Structure 1
Amino acid sequence: MNHRQFEEPVTLLVGMGFPARIESVVEAYALLQDWPACSRNGAHAVALNACKAGIAGEIDPETVRATLVAFARRQDILVPDMVSLAPAALSGGASRTNNTV
């Protein structure tokens, strides 16, 4: 595994709401570099600086990933991890089934 790969990819909604799967520091950097100037904010600057530090090997990829996730949450473009949501959905469905007469 590349030392700049994320342990788990981050999926974001970009453009016209299309999902983009970001799997590495370099992919995160490219996304943030292409981000429209009018939509940049403090969270964008933090994430972009983290990417630069990650590329330089100054911080680990998971720290970069965390800043990307924080940026995505602020922009409301983070796609929830469906794997982590599945157990909650299944348990919710099971409890409704058990309550039926």
Structure 2
Amino acid sequence: MFGPLQALNNREEAQAMNRGQFEEPVTLLVGMGFPRKIDSVMEAYALLQDWPSAGRNGAHAVALNACKAGIVGEIDPETVRATLISFARRHDILVPDMVTPLATAAGGAVHEVN
């Protein structure tokens, strides 16, 4: 039976899912150097859980612990994102944001390069 209580539960679940979303994705090079966008705490957690044990270090532990804290709501998603970026920089897998001004005859609009 679908009623107000079910609608409230669905709304709360949706809000919980959105709470784990990053404001901006983090793009990393994974596998054979393919770019992968990480949009949420759960995606970051999955990536770090799958990370090869030989490549795990202090930065990995900090990022993984941040993900765990983010999942249970102890820290906000942007803090998790910052630790993921630090981890990615340390492992040289971070793809920098590429917003480049492209001059146009109509007047220098800024375009995002993906």
TM-score in terms of structure 2 length: 0.73
Rg comparison, structure with higher value = 2
Q: Please, which runs of 5 or more residues in structure 1 have no aligned partner?
A: 92-101
CA distance in 2: counterparts of 1:6 and 1:39, whole angstroms: 25
1:73 to 89, 101, 104: 89
Identity across matched positions, percent? 82
Structure 1 runs (4+) deviating above 2 angstroms are: none
| Higher RCO (CA 8 Å, separation ≥ 6 residues) | 1
Count of residues in Structure 1 that have an aligned counterpart in Structure 2: 87
Bigger share in helix: 1
Over the residues paired in the alignment, what is the CA RMSD in angstroms? 1.2
Matched, 1:43 2:59: yes
Q: Distance in 1 between matches of 2:24 and 2:68?
A: 20
CA shift at 1:82, angstroms? Answer: 1.1
TM-score normalized by structure 1?
0.83
